[in-house]
Amino acid sequence: NAGVTQTPKFQVLKTGQSMTLQCAQDMNHEYMSWYRQDPGMGLRLIHYSVGAGITDQGEVPNGYNVSRSTTEDFPLRLLSAAPSQTSVYFCASSPDRGHGYTFGSGTRLTVV
Amino acid sequence: QQQVKQSPQSLIVQKGGISIINCAYENTAFDYFPWYQQFPGKGPALLIAIRPDVSEKKEGRFTISFNKSAKQFSLHIMDSQPGDSATYFCAASPNAGGTSYGKLTFGQGTILTVHP
């Protein structure tokens, strides 16, 4: 099925561990973004990309790294997990700015 | 710094009533304003969007009203139904240069409950 696929759906990490949240889209979209969603905070942009090899920081980039080596994939790396990174993470893609983003189903991350 | 401010945080409406959610922005470079709907356990889904060259856009029971001079825009849901109960987010993206045009900023969200 066409869309944005995020894995894993759930993850528990210990403080200090690292991990990569995977995001893949099969719609040949140029734009991809990572958001975190916390109660009362809405969706906050972590990192985004406007094409393969081009990434930029969003509102809350600290503690996260991204790379975009292909159009399809946009992984998010947590370098050293902290409890403050407990959140629901969404990946999204769009063909261009004039079209809305298609969101994945999210990854619920708990850092203990 | 919250660039897009959304209100109210929560809204309760009776079936058949009108739901109104408001957003305000500061950045005059914003020129694309979408609204998203999110059901529990799901990702947000695009509902309707507007550009500032029009003051209103309607799609079915959903209408965006846009006031460029006041830097405000709102979502109206006519004949609200229990199935409309969800969280609604406004958002905005700029026409600035570089990579900024890929940057979508969201409001804090409004939890809408429609009672039968």
pLDDT tens by residue, B67-101: 999 999 999 999 999 999 999 999 998 876 666 66
In DSSP notation, B2-57 reads -SEEEE-SEEEEETTS-EEEEEEE--TTEEEEEEEEE-TTS--EEEEEE-TT-SEE
**Cis geometry, peptide bond prior to residue A8 (ω within 30 degrees of 0):** yes
Q: What are the φ and ψ backbone dihedral angles of A40, each rounded to 5 degrees? A: 75, -5
A41/B108 Cβ within 8 A: yes
Mutation target for A interface from B103, B110, B111: give the one with most A CBs within 10 A.
B103
What single-letter amino acid sits at A109?
L
B83 close to A (CB below 8 A)? no
d(CA B57, CA A92): 24
Q: What is the pLDDT along chain A (112 residues), one digit of tens a residue?
A: 679 999 999 999 999 999 999 999 999 999 999 999 998 788 999 999 999 999 999 999 999 999 999 999 999 999 999 999 999 999 999 988 767 899 999 999 999 9
B46–A105 CB contact, under 8 Å: no
Dihedral sign for Cα atoms in the order A8, A14, A20, A21: positive
Distance from CA of A106 to the nearest CA of B (A): 6
Q: Given B45, B104, B108, which is nearest A45 (Cβ)?
A: B104
Instruction: Give residue for tokens 């914003």.
Output: B30
- A90 contacts in chain B (CB < 8 Å): 43-44
Is the Cβ–Cβ distance between B46 and A100 less than 8 Å? yes
